[in-house]
Structure 1
Amino acid sequence: MAVYRIAIGSPREASHPAAIRAAFAEFFSMLIFVFAGQGSGMAYTKLTNNGPATPDGLIVASLSHAFGLFVAVSVGANISGGHVNPAVTFGAFVGGNITLLRSILYWIAQLFGSVVACILLNFATGGMETTAFSLSSGVSVWNALVFEIVMTFGLVYTVYATAVDPKKGNIGVVAPIAIGLIVGANILVGGAFDGASMNPAVSFGPALVSWSWTHHWVYWLGPFIGSAAAAIIYDNIFIGDDAHQPLSNTDF
């Protein structure tokens, strides 16, 4: 990774109309995604009368998150790049595709969108609580950390290959569905172990609303490590310095 491409950004960027619009896009995309993902889990709990976790429930979670993220990325793609994930934003920053100041705007909007979605779900369901991410029995924090690193690596690698790479060509058209599918597939892998977050904002909203912070750090550290690794590897091996354009306020 070429360190010179990492940019802090100017203070004026925080008030630039394009940056504000992009932050709002991230807020609404995250709200849509979390409302669908968390809401489907709450609906399943209601239908099963708080029954135990089952393979059917895991499939439901996988599909709802895949479909929800496909839509959330699609509706935000032309405005903010459709990150819908602080880890994806961090990966874009590490690769020199977004400034630090705009990243901070995105992170605030993403976290706020997740919290608002959980509050709305709590109200709309008559007081049902959103479920904070947690480790399953027999799963250590280090097991979960590896899960989150590897799963987020796969997600951000997919983002780079289908949405960021300037050589992507027509494959960019399927970027939102590819991103949604890798998240759905990873939930089938890691959902039974640690909930398969891959997204600090998705973990933050339910944790704040239910005030449950046990092992919450895993759902930040793992995705950020996996995201940085994917960005550095893809950028150095497959993009290279020659393919990069100068960073501007309208970049991903």
Structure 2
Amino acid sequence: MPSIAFGRADDSFSSASIRAYIAEFISTMIFVFAGVGSAIAYNKLTNDAPLDPSGLVAIAICHGLALFVAVAVGANISGGHVNPAVTFGLAVGGQITILTGIFYWIAQLLGAAVASLVLKVVTGASAIPTHGLGAGVGAVEGVVMEIIITFALVYTVYATAVDPKNGSLGTIAPIAIGFIVGANILAAGPFSGGSMNPARSFGPALASGDFSGMWIYWVGPMIGGGLAGIIYGNVYMHQDHSPLAADF
């Protein structure tokens, strides 16, 4: 059974750890800039018309492609988490220490905030789209939806990027992770917003000053990511396997 470790300060402040935090900041900034930017672009091209199926597909594809790149460029430095829920799921599964995970969260939230604030400036103070529930969808339904889709994401991360039995999958892991996020946005976007990522929700909320319903995009993804870490870590991985993530 994987063990959860708090970690040591000297590990979390080593040069390798600092590089990892910077990599998470940059990767998250890349992802959020492209993802939120695609939503802003859609609103501009349609004069703020309601999201239609073609717009949903375009935004889902953009998020999937951006996440593929963000994970790929950070994979060999920080593991390419790009998401506090992924970091939490890996911490629960014993793949990263709690202390290092906290600094990952800080880097990810800062990256998302910077990307969103820059977008607000460079798009002429355009409205920054925030995650929200669809018409007729309650908070409980939204949380459950976010739990399910985030579970799918973190489970995919474990299966393709973490489990040492798979060996080196090269670009397959980032592609699979990008695909599952794009697919989940197509499925959940009209209902919960399809966040799966507290940082992705936090950045636009900060830039717009609208934090309504933000708890949904923390509670749902954290529960989903944690469940994936517990289930995959205990059912499919064993103690004789060394964690793939760096032992910061």
Q: Same fold (TM over 0.5)?
A: yes
Helix, strand or coil at the partner of 1:167: helix
- The two structures have a TM-score, normalised by structure 2, of 0.96
1:115 aligns with 2:113: yes
Whole-angstrom CA distance in 1 between matches of 2:45 and 2:104: 35
Q: Does 1:51 align with 2:49?
A: yes
> Does residue 72 of structure 1 match 2:78?
no
Q: CA deviation at 1:153?
A: 0.3
Q: What is the CA-CA distance between 1:101 and the residue it aligns to? A: 1.2
Gaps of 5+ in 1: none
Pair 1:192-2:190 in alignment: yes
Cα distance, 1:170 vs structure 2 = 4.4
Residue ranges of structure 2 left out of the alignment (5+ in a row): none
Contact 1:149-1:226 at 8 Å conserved across structures: yes
Residue 126 of structure 1 pairs with residue 124 of structure 2: yes
Select which of 222, 225, 235 maps to 2:223.
Answer: 225
Shift of residue 93 of structure 1?
0.4
Q: Is the 8 Å Cα contact of residues 135 and 193 (structure 1) preserved in structure 2?
A: yes
Aligned partner letter, 1:47: L
1:24 aligned residue: 22
Partner residue, 2:12: 14
**For the Cα contact (< 8 Å) 1:95–1:232, is it kept in 2?**
yes
1:135-165 CA deviation, whole Å, 9 max, x = no partner?
Answer: 1110000110111000000000000000010
TM-score normalised over the length of structure 1: 0.95
> Identity, % of aligned pairs?
56
* Matched length: 248
CA-to-partner distance for each residue in 1:35-60, whole Å, 9 max, x for gaps?
Answer: 00000110010000111110011001
Deviation of the 1:9 alpha carbon: 1.0
Aligned to 1:251: 247
Higher helix proportion, which one? Answer: 1
Given candidates 193, 198, 201, the residue that maps to 2:199 is 201
Instruction: For 1:96 and 1:167, locate their aligned partners in 2 and report how far apart those are by CA, in whole Å.
Output: 16
| Cα offsets for 1:208-234 (capped at 9, x unmatched) | 111111111010010010011111111
User: Displacement, 1:13?
Assistant: 2.6
What letter matches 2:57 in structure 1? I
Deviation above 4 Å: which 4+ runs of structure 1? Answer: none
Question: How far does residue 243 in structure 1 lie from its aligned partner after superposition?
Answer: 2.1
Aligned to 2:36: 38
